[in-house]
Structures are given as structure tokens and as C-alpha cells.
Structure 1
Amino acid sequence: MQQAPSPIVKDIVLVGGGHSHVGVIKAFGMQPVPGVRITVICTDAHTPYSGMLPGYIAGHYSYDDVHIDLSRLCVFAGARFIQAEVTGIDRTAQTVLLRDRPPVPYDLVSINIGSTPSVRQVAGAAQHAVPVKPIYQFNQRWLALLERARQHTGDLTVAVVGAGAGGVELCLAMQYRLRQELARLGRKPTTLHFHLFTAEATILPTHNRGVQQRFAQVLMQRGVHVHTAARVAEIAASGVRVATGEWQAADEVMWVTQAGGAAWLQSTGLALDAAGFLQVNTQLQSVTDPCVFAAGDVASIAGHPLEKAGVFAVRMAKPLTHNLRQSLAGLPLRAYHPQTRWLALISTGDRYAIASRGALGFAGQWVWRWKDRIDRAFMQRFSQLPTMGPHQTKPAAFLQPALAMSTQESQQALSALAMRCGGCGAKVGPDILARALSSLTPVHNPDVLMGLHTPDDAAVVRVPAGKALVHTVDFFRAFIDDPYVFGKIAANHALGDIYAMGALPHTATAIATVPAGIDRQTEALLTHMMAGAVEVLNAAHCSLVGGHTGEGQELALGFAINGLLDINAQGELQTLWRKSAMQAGDVLILTKGLGTGTLLAAHARGLARGRWVQAALASMLQSSQHAAQVLQAHGAHACTDVTGFGLVGHLLEMTRASGTDATLVLGDIPVLDGALECMAQGALSSLHSANARVQTALRNATEWTSHPRYPLLFDPQTAGGLLASVPAQHAEACVLALHQAGYPYSAVIGQVLPPSEAIAPLVLADAVPTARASLGLAGKV
């Protein structure tokens, strides 16, 4: 018998990582509510702070200076982070709909996704203009424009549509940065031209006349051509046409106007205003549905029209947090009262800013420094997080009253908290399991005679004639809080052994453990995890035929995978790869970068940047199926997948079985982004120290222990790459084919050597001649 942890009873889903939601996430991290889970859904792991974006464009700040790391913030708060695109809300089922994955259930949902430029209202704008939002897409175009300016030798013309504060700031920031780049290259800024278009009679129409005049003067001094009362009617690849017929040639058109709500809001049935924004009351609650909240630009407060400015979104975080807590407890909500006047500090690109508040206006370099201090202080709230752990709670006196639950929810929660049985009593209930499995559609396989489609005590699978069965099993605990992605990685990891044997996947059985909880939570968890797993298995033409699900302290998943190998008429295995088949003179090729162990360890401690973690997950999600096919096509003699024992541990198995030695070139070993930084911070996997014991197999380890990549030799990998022994004459073509097949980290990392008299079979080296057959063989670092 074992005591279960507190079950999840209520789900708050935060759609978007805007200025309001980052405040909510931190607040719940500082003061969690037992039984409440926060789930954050966003398309990117880093959310930009709008107040510093012009400074980033101007070159005063780095990318990390102006972006809040949502992934790291969620680790601190004990919140789930799901990187996905929201496509709608099913309010009847109370689920958030996502693209290409199962919906996420909610008790309360809050939306803070900002505004979306309405480019489709102007002919050609959707095809040829660059909307300033979403920021992550705009940033890619901006970086491309920077590079274009560096390479371009003639005139370059940029048009900006929209002359509110955002458009003017963006125009001046881009001009300043591009002029700086041209000066650095020794070229004249006179080849750079900027045009600013607005349908209004003046620039910055919501600000006082003094501020308007100050900016008009700055724009004139900078040589920006301002087109007022010029409604843009068409945008083409070569320029802009206004309603009066005037045509202005432009190499790039930036769109900073006519923003509206996201298109998917139209299908929710929620009340929207004329621009498509969610209509909410003063409690930031939808006027249509009390379970839906909204904040920031996407919210339109009835009777309180607000300018779309970040200052309001920041101020909404506190009342939104309070009202989400109160709503869960069934208590009265608090009204949000927006300020009637606010301070706007608008920069001019060159470390100079103009302040605007009501009828007041003042300017200077000191204003920019003031703005810089305010902005940096805001960002520090989310980068310099308190040292309390992500699940550490405040004393009970600081927590909200008990959650409002139905009788059924209360009974299930009490059951989950009770002493849990072992043995067959730990199985997941049949109704929950049946509902979760009903949504799965395993790939059809005629060899499956009895499986999930005809459930019985066991599956019955036919082994085709001329085939031999390869069988493997893998199982591990969840290391990320997104069950769908975890399910995909668990399946991908299990399939790795099949590909490393040169076999083709055939059928699979699953074994899963899930924490005790109320029925709908357990069902949703199983549905997401198994949906991700089956998606990967189906892509591999591997049929899920059955499995077992039980309760456990932690979420865990594993698979027993069957694969098939060809047998010829003489009964010999045709396509089998064995660890013992390496040949002296072969080169060693690794198909993926190292570093998943240290990155996941750092992520758990809140030390890894979100983009590093997402890139590592992308590596783990990449199947080795095509890599195995490429290696086979280039005559690989032996192969293994690099997983829990690390690169040296798995290579040592191959050398011992083959009776060979091997050289590794540390500088050529591919490394995932951020892995070296995480290692330098001391973020090591719990298995690292055990793996490092095999360093005795390295003949000259003492010469290399100070090398920054040395610890990565023992880093345990999840769903790691294939390590293959390939004839040297095929190595260059093999790596090129791997790159073309979508494995950019693939590289030659060493060479197989004849056996020596030395006890230690592995040698670290600066270079191996055959490992440098071509510059194209170097891995990413």
C-alpha cells in the first residue's frame, strides 16, 4: 500500500504567453493552489516584451534581453508548458483545440494572445507585407532584411504601413540599425530610404500635439518620408499603392496597423467586438461564458475602450490571477479598473526617447535611460526567479479557500488521496481505459490476427514466412510535462533498438503507469500520451496490439517492440546489424547531436533556455528510420543506438564485441545547442556519474578531462542517434546523404582501429585523417 500525492482536481489553461499571463504564471508559482494545475499553451518557448522590441531592432538589446523564457518560467511555477498552435475552443466539451494533436481539457481558460494584423483587408498585403505580429515570424524577416542590407550594394527602400507609436518606433529603430550596419561596412547611408504611411491626418493620433510635433521633427531630420492621409489600397512585391493612386516602390513593406482578433476566435461562439476581439466584463471574464477569461490586446472591455498598449496587459495580470483563484473557489470576482492616463515612453532608435502622458510630453537621452531601467526591471521579475522550488507551497493560511467541486469530483479526489492498493488493485479502471483507447487508431497490419480491434487476454500476431523476429523493450519515467510529446519520444526511443539491428518494426505492446487522480484527468493523460505514441508507431508501420496500464507515483511509459529481419533460403539473416561486426579501417558516424541528458537535467532545475529544450525535444522526436536506411545503403558493417549508457558506453560495447580499438575526435562530435552551457553549470543527469566509470576505457583520458566536450562522452541520451561503423570509402557520401535526409548533426566522429596490446581500447585525438575526408563531414556544434 502507498500514499498517493495530491491529485489534480482543476485545470487552468492559459492560451498565449502575453504580458498578463507571465504575471499569472509567476503568481501561481509563488502561491500555488493544491489540486490546481496550470497549463500554458504557446507556439514559442520565448515570449517577447513589447516595450523592448524597438531597442532589439535598433541593436541595443540581444534576443534574450527582450524575451521571457516561458519554458523556464513554467518549470519554476510547476506549470505544464505545451508548445502548440491553438485552433479553437470547444466550450461544450470544455477543451482547447490544438493543431495535429488531441485537445486539452480545462475548467477555466484564459486567453492572452495579443492582436493579429488584418493584412487580408488590403489587396496583396497577405502575400507581400511583413506583419509585425507574431513577433517570432517578424524577427525572421527582420534578420533576413539585415543580411540583405549587408549584401545589397544599391539603394534599399523600406515602407512602414501604420504611424501609431508602434509603427513610428519600428521605422526609426530599423533605420538606425540599418544605417549602423552600412557605416560599419563603409557604405553611405544615402542609399537607404524609408517611407511611413498612415490613413490618419497625423502621426501618433492618440498622443498629444506636442508629442506629434516632436516625432514629426525627428522623422524629418532622419529623412523619413511621411505620407499622411494616405490609405494603402494595394501592396505588390515591388511597392505600395495608396487610395489616391500614388505609387511608391519598396523592397520591403512592414505592416503595423489594422490589428484584430485571431481568426480562430470566430468559431468559439464567444461574443466578439467589431474588430474580432473577445468581449469581457470588468472582471476580465467573457460576457458569454464565465469559464473563459481574456486579457491584454485580445480583450475588449465593455464600456472601457482601451488603446492596444502593453501597459494595460501588464496591469491586468494581478486582477486576472485573483479572479482565476476566486472562480475556482466559487467566490466573488474583483473588477479591473484601467487607468485613464498612462505614461508612454517612445524611443527614436538612437538611445533617445519621448515621453507622453495625457497633455504632457518631454524628451531626451535621460528619458531613454529611464525607460531602459524600467524595462530591465520588468524583465528581471521573470529572469531572476526566487529560489523556492517549483512545487514548494506557501503555508496554508496564504492559500485560497477549498476548490468548488461536484460531489463526484470530491469522491474521486478522496479516493485518489486514500491508501492505494498494489497488485491488480493498481490497474486503471476499465471505463477510463476504454475511453482513452477508443480514440486510438493503430496502423492496419494483416499479420495482427488479434489485437486492440479484437481485445482478448493476449494479442496474436503472425510472423511472415522468410522473416525472423527481433524483440526489444524500453521503459522510462516522464521527463517533460507534456504527455503527448512524452508519448511520442517514448515510442521513438523504443523503436531505436529495432533500427539499430537493421530490422523493420512490426508490432508493439505498451506498458504505462499514471498517477492516481480523478477520472477525467487520468483519461485525458492517457489519451494524450497514447495518441502521441501511436502517431509515431503508425509512422513506422508498427501496429500497437495491446498493453497494460496501472497506477504509479509518476507518469511512465514503455514498449515491447517486435521487428522483422529477412532470412534467405539457407536460413541466414540478411539485413542484421550486430555490434560485433566493426572492421578496422571503418569510420564512425553519429547521426544526432549529444546533450539530451544535461539539457533535461538543466531544464528540471530551471537552468536551460526554452529554445535549447525545444530543440532537444525536436531531436528526440526525430525517427532514426531514414538514418538506418541511409546507413544500410552505404554498407554500414555495425550499428547501435546511443542511449542511456552514453557515447563511450555504447562504443565500448561495440569494440569489445568486435575485438577492435577505436579513436574518437572530440572536436568532431556533434553537440545540441545549449548542451555545453548546461554542462558548464554542472547540470548532469543522475546517470552521468555511473556512465563516467567507463572512462577507464579511454587510454588517454587524463589529457582531455579539461576539454569542454569531455563530459558529454558520458551523457545519457534519450532517443539518441545511431552510431555506425561505415567503410571509409563510403563515409563522405554517407554523411552527405544523411544531411539530405534531414539529419543535420550527422558527422564522422572517429575511426575503428586494429586491436592493440593496451587494456583501454578507446583513444581521444585531435584529428583522424579519414575523419577529415571532406569539410562537409564536420558536425554541428
Structure 2
Amino acid sequence: MKSNPTQLTDNLVLIGGGHSHAIVLKLWGMNHIPGVHLTLISDRTHTPYSGMLPGQVAGFYDFEETHIDLRVLAHFAGANFYHDTVINLDLENKQVICEKHSPITFDNLSIDIGSIPQKSNISGASDYAIPAKPVAQFLTAWKNVKKTIKTHPKQPYSLTIIGGGAGGVELAFNMRTCLLNILENANNLTLNLIHQGNHLLTGHSHWTSKKVQSLLLENGTNIYLNETVIKITPSSPHHYRITCDSGLEIRSDFVFLVTQASSPQWIEKTGITTDKKGFILVNNYLQSVSHPNIFAAGDIATMKNYSRPKAGVFAVRQGQPLFNNLQSIILGTKLHSYYPQKFYLSLIGTGNKKAIASWGSLGLEASWLWTWKDYIDRKFMDRFKNFSSMKPEKNNNIIDVIITLKNEVILNKAQDKKELENKKFMPCNGCASKVGSSLLQKTLQRLDINQNPEIIVGLASPDDAAIIDISEQELLVETIDYFPSFISDPFVFGQITTNHCLSDLWAMGAKAHSVSAVITLPYGVDSVLEEILYQLLEGCLKILKQNQVSLVGGHTLQGEKLGFGLSCNGFILPNRILCKSGMQPNDKIILTKPLGIGTLLAAEMIYQTKGNWIDNAIQSMLISNKKASEIFLQFEASACTDITGFGLVGHLIEMMKASQVSVELNLDKIPILIGAIETIKQGITSSLHPKNLDNETYLTVNKNIKKSPNYSLLFDPQTSGGLLASIPEENADRCLQELIRAGYTDSQMIGKVIHKSNKITCQLT
């Protein structure tokens, strides 16, 4: 007997992907509560682990070793991932205000967004200094610093770090290590460290402070104690003057800010109770003292009953109790107190694969401490990798927990029908959820379909949209598309789906007029479903407004998961129609967007992709095909279609059949999304890919070409893919240049049309 579907009953929103929330998401994936609509909002896809960042600066670690992929982690947790920046809270209406999304409703909220260096008391710091946080911005700036120095490695350079706490000290050690490997002469590096206090590492033991100061002086770092920076001004282009209240002035090429932690300004504007520095004040449950449905952890939180420094160790320790209390408040069970330790171990890397251990009044320096630190850090990061092999843990606090494990995805080796039938089938979403073209053709051939005489383009001569003669001046164009959600953010899903559905009109050269929506909502209570529907339709309306198209109606129903589609209406002049037929010999073939959506989305389902790959794919899907259609019309395109579920080859064959021509493709010219080659090499393809391979019979290729991952991507189903058009040879170069200028930067001339042969073929060169 089939079990009853889970209903969504609670909106839990997490703001920020800090250490505590990373642990919460990991634990949630292992022990989730059915019915919770969990959402993570983060302004970055990858969140850094602070313990390894100094080592990354030195060059000991790469980006992936030091960052947690939040898209993958959110997917494992069953959470929606909203890539956006929070700018405020509407506490009265229980809504999160973001830069891009419409207000996001919550029942319970947790905040873990870290802190930023204080710079309001230093004139010019906002314009001329590089803050150590947010880390993503710092790493981008540090990359540019290294690039500048690598370009001129013989020149002298001066770097200044403002702040002599643990963060500033570690940067001083590790920046020197990195730059000495770039500069041709070590004497060309001047490193300055300015600190307000009379000794470094305030809060650590006297021995630790003296040891760090001694090591810095030994390696040539200039240390300025009891100095307060009041102003940073440019002395010449790319050179700065740092002025202290004592009158001390230091010239520097680069200035880094690692001062005391401060809170983002928007926190205080919300009305939530904060401490004197603007950090959210929480009780022993990590719960806001003013709003019991809001929790906070990490640097952004200050515990009312405990005075502790802003250190990553506390954020890590708060992860488990935060997870327990978030689940407890949803379940209505007793919250449990978190008691932060008074003393904690600090391991400070000195840039030479040695470390200093600081524990209360004790301190020690040794190379084995670096080995130990490296082991601890890597072990922590291993918790957020290889999700496909992780097993659920028992949660004694929850009864009847429903855990969904991954199924196998169909690999491209499963082309044989018998083998395919034996596979455990995992259907993909988006346009990859279509049925195969051969199934459609066979079914339609069995039907006796009457076509009214006013239908100019319909099932008798199928194209991207139907065309109906309604007046002498213009023709009516109609199309429909629908598919289940392939992305956890309904606002973005609404935008992509709207682009995808309208694309059939653009491919015909039509002007869109109005749409009706078809929506499937997951089972749940009205308050949760309202939020999903609101975000979905807001995304849809955003695209419709950009194109001056009206939403005129629709139909909603409930099902197992979110689905969305549009019936689209438009108009076209009889002499402006772009059809699949019309390709002429010697025409050039242009594709406006890269391939790879299908394999990337399939890889994401089994945790085999990277967040930035999906970010890039989403950006491609968000690009409208409207302007490209206008450009193709401008340069007299002879035929056009959009690339969707049947892949490049499937849609190209439709054009060749309708035009009675053949085509030569240049495989190396076909644009491909970042990461798609890697996932195809792993054998990861979408569930529609094997059906698309039926079209191989139309291709003439040699065995070596078939081994290329580029070849496999010819059959990859696309969601909101690009336009494919044939352009007269004399117009093709100018057309391509105009497309690139219009923002279709991945556009490529991928082949040419050749004369009709006995068999429609596709030559790959």
C-alpha cells in the first residue's frame, strides 16, 4: 500500500551559511522532520571554513578544500537554497527582506551570518582598505594582489595589516609565506602590522603573545603597538598613507583590515534586541531574548549570560545545540541550554607548517601542532563531502522520521533497452522529464486528428508553436509547456520556466501577448503553500513584466511535488515567421547558449556537482531568447528553433527534415557549460538522454568522435536552452557579433547547411 504523502506544515528559514548552520543542515539531512519547509538564504554558494583560510592564503590549501558547498549541503538536507542577500527583517509580518527575492515568510528563523571588521572609526577604510570579511570579497582582493605582484615580481611592495588579534597575526605569517614564493627578492617585501593594544593577541597568554611577536620580528615584520589608525588616504594611484592618532604615518601599497568584529547595520534596524555592538542578544537556548521564534549563532550572536570572544570554535560548538533547539521548537518539546566552555584551544598557524597552541595560560610551538591542526581541520571539512555515501542516524526525539535516500541516476552506458529496464529508474525534472520524440511520433501517427483550415502550423506540420489565421493583418501563435521543479528556489524556478515557455514564441519570431498558468503545489497547509505559490508567481511575473506580457488566468492543483507551466499566446506578421523549415545550403548555423543543463541537473541529484556549476547553469537559463530572436530576424534567418528536451541533435534533425537538407557540425565549436564535461566523463546523464540517443541513426561519425564527451552532450536535454538558427552565409559573421554584443556571450557558429543527401546526416568535424 502506498504511504500517504507528507504535508508541509512549517516554514523554517535559515539566514546565512556560517559554521553553525552548516552543521544544522548536515544534521537535518540525517534526522529531518517531515513536513518542515526548510529554506537556506545565503549570499554565497560556498561558505568558508575559518580554520583553514590562513592556510589558503599561504597556498597550502585550494578553494575547494577550505569551502563548504552550500548548494550540495542544502540538497542533502532537503532544504530550498535561495541565493540572495538579506537586507532587513519585517518582524511584525514574520518576513525576511532580500535584495532580489520578494519577502520570504517564516514561522521560525535562525541567523548565522558572521561578522565584519569594524571600520566606521577609520576615515577612508571603506574606500581604500581590504577587509578580511566577508571572506569571499577578501579572497577575490587577495587574488588580485597576487596577480599584481606576479606581473612585476622585481618591484618592492609594502603590505599593512590593521589589527593584531589572532586573525591579523595569522594573515601576517601566511601572506609573507605566499608572497616570498612570488617575489624574486625577499628584501622587496615590507610587511607592517598595526595594533591598538600594548601586546599582540589580546585575550591570549603572555607567553603566546611574546612568542608570536618574536617570530614576526624574526621574519622581518614591522610591528606597531599602541597605535590607533584614524585615517587612510591615497598618496598616489594605488598607494596609500595610513595615519595614526600618534602622528605616525605609514606608506603602503595594500591595506588589510582585521579589526574588532562588528555587526551588519541592518540587524539593528529590525527591532530585534541586540547588545551595545549591534549583535543579536540570545539566551542559553541560542534564542533571541526578544523574539522566541528567532535563533542566532556564531559571530552574529552574543550570549546574554556568557561573555565570550567572536571565535570560530564557538560557532562550531553551537551547531548541535542549535539543531536540537530548532527541532524542539517545531515539535513543541523542551529546549536545552548550551553552555560555552570558558577556555578553548587556539592553534595559530605561523606560515611555515608550524603552529602555536594557546590554552588559557599555557602555550606551545611545534611542527607537530600544525600536523594536528591540519588533521582536525580536514576531519571537520570531511563532514560536508561525499553525501551520497552518508547514512542516516537515528533520531530518538522524532517518531516516524521519513528518510529519503538517493536512487541511482541513469548513466549513459544504459543505452541497451534490457539494461535500461533493469536499472533502478530515477526520473529527472525540468525539460528532461519529457517523453522521447519517437514515442510522440508513433503515438501521433496512430491518431486521426482533424485540423481546421485556419490552422497554418499545427500537428500536420509541427513546429515550436501553432499558428492560426485569425485576421488579414496578423496571425495567432499558441504554445504550452510544463514540467516538475528542478530547482529548490520557487522564485528562480518561476523565472526560468517562464523564459522556457515564452521561448517557443521567440523561436517563431512572434510577439508574446498573454499567458495562463498551470501549477501543481505539494501537499501542505495553506500558510506554507501560500509562500511557495507567492514566490513562484512573483518569479513568473518578473519575466512577464520585462516582456510586457499579461498573466490572464490559470489552474492549480496539488500533487507530490511542485510543477509549473504556461500556455502562451502571441501574434506574428505573416512575413515575419521563423519556422524549422527553410534552411538553405551554405547557411551558417548559430547556437546562442551552451549545452549541459541535463547532465548538470542529473549530477546535482546525486551530489556529484559543484554549487558554482549550478549557479552558472541557472544564469544561462535566466537569459531570455527574445533579443536573440529579434537579431536573427534582423539578419534574415532562414530557420530557427529553441533547444529543449530533445537536445541539440533532436531539434536539429527536426529542422533538417522540415528543410530537406543535411548539416555539418564542428564539435569543437559547440559551447558547453562549466562542469558539464566533468559530469559527462563520470557517465552521468539525465533520464531522457537514452531516448535522445535514438537519433544517433541520423549521424555519421567515427569511433574516436563518439568517445568525446562533447559528442555525448549533443543529446543532452536542455531547460531554457538557447536558440538554434540558420543564417545566410553573407550575414552570419555580423549576426554572431551582434548576438555577443547583446549579451549572448556564449554564442557560436557551430556548423553549416549542406545539400540534401539520400540520408539525412550530421557530419562532425
- TM-score, normalising length from structure 2? 0.88
CA apart distance, 1:609: 0.8
Partner SS, residue 399 of structure 1: coil
Partner SS, residue 181 of structure 1: coil
Matches within 5 A, 1:11-160: 11-152=11-152, 153-160=154-161
- Note the alpha carbon deviations across 1:259-308, whole angstroms, 9 max, x for none: 21111111221111111100001111111011011111111011311111
Q: 2: CA distance between counterparts of 1:503 and 1:326?
A: 55
Partner SS, residue 170 of structure 1: helix
CA apart distance, 1:216: 1.3
Query: Structure 1 residues 156 and 734, CA, compared in 2 at 3 Å: closer, same or farther?
Result: farther
Confirm or deny that 1:482 pairs with 2:489: yes
CA apart distance, 1:54: 0.7
**1:711 aligns to what?**
712
Confirm or deny that 1:327 pairs with 2:329: yes
Confirm or deny that 1:217 pairs with 2:214: yes
Q: 2: CA distance between counterparts of 1:147 and 1:574?
A: 54
Q: 2: CA distance between counterparts of 1:748 and 1:219?
A: 57
Q: 1: CA distance between counterparts of 2:388 and 2:642?
A: 39
Partner SS, residue 276 of structure 1: coil
Q: 2: CA distance between counterparts of 1:139 and 1:726?
A: 44
- The one-letter amino acid of 1:540's match is N
**1:315 aligns to what?**
317
Query: Structure 1 residues 398 and 279, CA, compared in 2 at 3 Å: closer, same or farther?
Result: closer
- Note the alpha carbon deviations across 1:392-411, whole angstroms, 9 max, x for none: x7778551699xxxxxxxxx
Partner SS, residue 182 of structure 2: helix
Contact kept in structure 1, 2:656 and 2:760, CA below 8 Å: no
Contact kept in structure 2, 1:590 and 1:724, CA below 8 Å: yes
Query: Structure 1 residues 463 and 246, CA, compared in 2 at 3 Å: closer, same or farther?
Result: farther
Query: Structure 1 residues 615 and 54, CA, compared in 2 at 3 Å: closer, same or farther?
Result: same
Q: 2: CA distance between counterparts of 1:270 and 1:396?
A: 32
**1:520 aligns to what?**
527
**1:276 aligns to what?**
278
Confirm or deny that 1:745 pairs with 2:746: yes
Q: 2: CA distance between counterparts of 1:349 and 1:626?
A: 52
CA apart distance, 1:350: 2.3
Gaps of 5+ in 2: 402-468
Q: 2: CA distance between counterparts of 1:101 and 1:507?
A: 24
2:190 to 185, 193, 198: 193
- The one-letter amino acid of 2:325's match is N
Query: Structure 1 residues 540 and 252, CA, compared in 2 at 3 Å: closer, same or farther?
Result: same
- Note the alpha carbon deviations across 1:225-250, whole angstroms, 9 max, x for none: 11211111111233211112322222
**2:167 aligns to what?**
166
Q: 2: CA distance between counterparts of 1:397 and 1:246?
A: 62
CA apart distance, 1:556: 0.8
CA apart distance, 1:21: 0.7
Contact kept in structure 1, 2:37 and 2:528, CA below 8 Å: no
Q: 2: CA distance between counterparts of 1:465 and 1:206?
A: 83
Query: Structure 1 residues 256 and 630, CA, compared in 2 at 3 Å: closer, same or farther?
Result: farther
Q: 1: CA distance between counterparts of 2:59 and 2:751?
A: 41
Matches within 5 A, 1:482-561: 482-561=489-568
Contact kept in structure 2, 1:31 and 1:398, CA below 8 Å: no
- Note the alpha carbon deviations across 1:604-642, whole angstroms, 9 max, x for none: 111111111111111111111222233333332221111
Moved more, 591-600 or 500-509: 500-509
Moved more, 729-738 or 62-71: 729-738
Q: 1: CA distance between counterparts of 2:214 and 2:734?
A: 61
Contact kept in structure 2, 1:329 and 1:400, CA below 8 Å: no
**1:350 aligns to what?**
352
**1:777 aligns to what?**
none
CA apart distance, 1:576: 1.6
Contact kept in structure 1, 2:121 and 2:230, CA below 8 Å: no
Moved more, 66-75 or 236-245: 236-245
Q: 2: CA distance between counterparts of 1:314 and 1:77?
A: 18
Q: 2: CA distance between counterparts of 1:521 and 1:356?
A: 48
Query: Structure 1 residues 386 and 507, CA, compared in 2 at 3 Å: closer, same or farther?
Result: closer
Matches within 5 A, 1:457-472: 466-472=473-479
Confirm or deny that 1:596 pairs with 2:597: yes
**1:232 aligns to what?**
229
Partner SS, residue 700 of structure 1: coil
**1:688 aligns to what?**
689
CA apart distance, 1:4: 5.0
Q: 1: CA distance between counterparts of 2:260 and 2:163?
A: 8
- The one-letter amino acid of 2:128's match is H
Q: 1: CA distance between counterparts of 2:358 and 2:29?
A: 35
Q: 2: CA distance between counterparts of 1:314 and 1:397?
A: 22
Moved more, 582-591 or 632-641: 632-641
- The one-letter amino acid of 1:399's match is I
Contact kept in structure 2, 1:470 and 1:498, CA below 8 Å: yes
Contact kept in structure 2, 1:323 and 1:334, CA below 8 Å: yes
- The one-letter amino acid of 2:696's match is Q
**2:411 aligns to what?**
none
CA apart distance, 1:63: 0.5
Partner SS, residue 731 of structure 1: helix
Matches within 5 A, 1:582-621: 582-621=583-622
- The one-letter amino acid of 1:132's match is A
Contact kept in structure 1, 2:261 and 2:310, CA below 8 Å: no
- The one-letter amino acid of 1:102's match is S
Contact kept in structure 1, 2:12 and 2:107, CA below 8 Å: yes
Q: 1: CA distance between counterparts of 2:346 and 2:257?
A: 21
Contact kept in structure 1, 2:42 and 2:84, CA below 8 Å: yes
Q: 2: CA distance between counterparts of 1:733 and 1:131?
A: 45
Confirm or deny that 1:296 pairs with 2:298: yes
**2:629 aligns to what?**
628
**1:399 aligns to what?**
398
Moved more, 722-731 or 477-486: 722-731
**1:206 aligns to what?**
203
Contact kept in structure 2, 1:325 and 1:400, CA below 8 Å: no
Q: 2: CA distance between counterparts of 1:490 and 1:15?
A: 26
Q: 1: CA distance between counterparts of 2:586 and 2:376?
A: 62
- Note the alpha carbon deviations across 1:153-183, whole angstroms, 9 max, x for none: 522222111111101111221221122122x
**1:385 aligns to what?**
387
Contact kept in structure 2, 1:280 and 1:286, CA below 8 Å: yes
**1:340 aligns to what?**
342
CA apart distance, 1:16: 0.6
Confirm or deny that 1:371 pairs with 2:406: no
Q: 2: CA distance between counterparts of 1:4 and 1:723?
A: 44
Q: 2: CA distance between counterparts of 1:371 and 1:400?
A: 39
Contact kept in structure 1, 2:661 and 2:760, CA below 8 Å: no
Gaps of 5+ in 1: 403-461, 567-572, 766-781
CA apart distance, 1:465: 8.1
Q: Which runs of 4+ in 1 moved over 6 A?
A: 393-396, 462-465
Partner SS, residue 8 of structure 2: coil
**2:669 aligns to what?**
668
Contact kept in structure 1, 2:495 and 2:540, CA below 8 Å: yes
- Note the alpha carbon deviations across 1:351-371, whole angstroms, 9 max, x for none: 221111111111122211111
Q: 2: CA distance between counterparts of 1:396 and 1:245?
A: 61
- TM-score, normalising length from structure 1? 0.86
**1:773 aligns to what?**
none
Contact kept in structure 2, 1:513 and 1:549, CA below 8 Å: yes
Q: 2: CA distance between counterparts of 1:2 and 1:378?
A: 39
Contact kept in structure 1, 2:387 and 2:607, CA below 8 Å: no
**2:423 aligns to what?**
none
- Note the alpha carbon deviations across 1:201-236, whole angstroms, 9 max, x for none: 222112112111221122112222112111111112
- The one-letter amino acid of 1:74's match is A
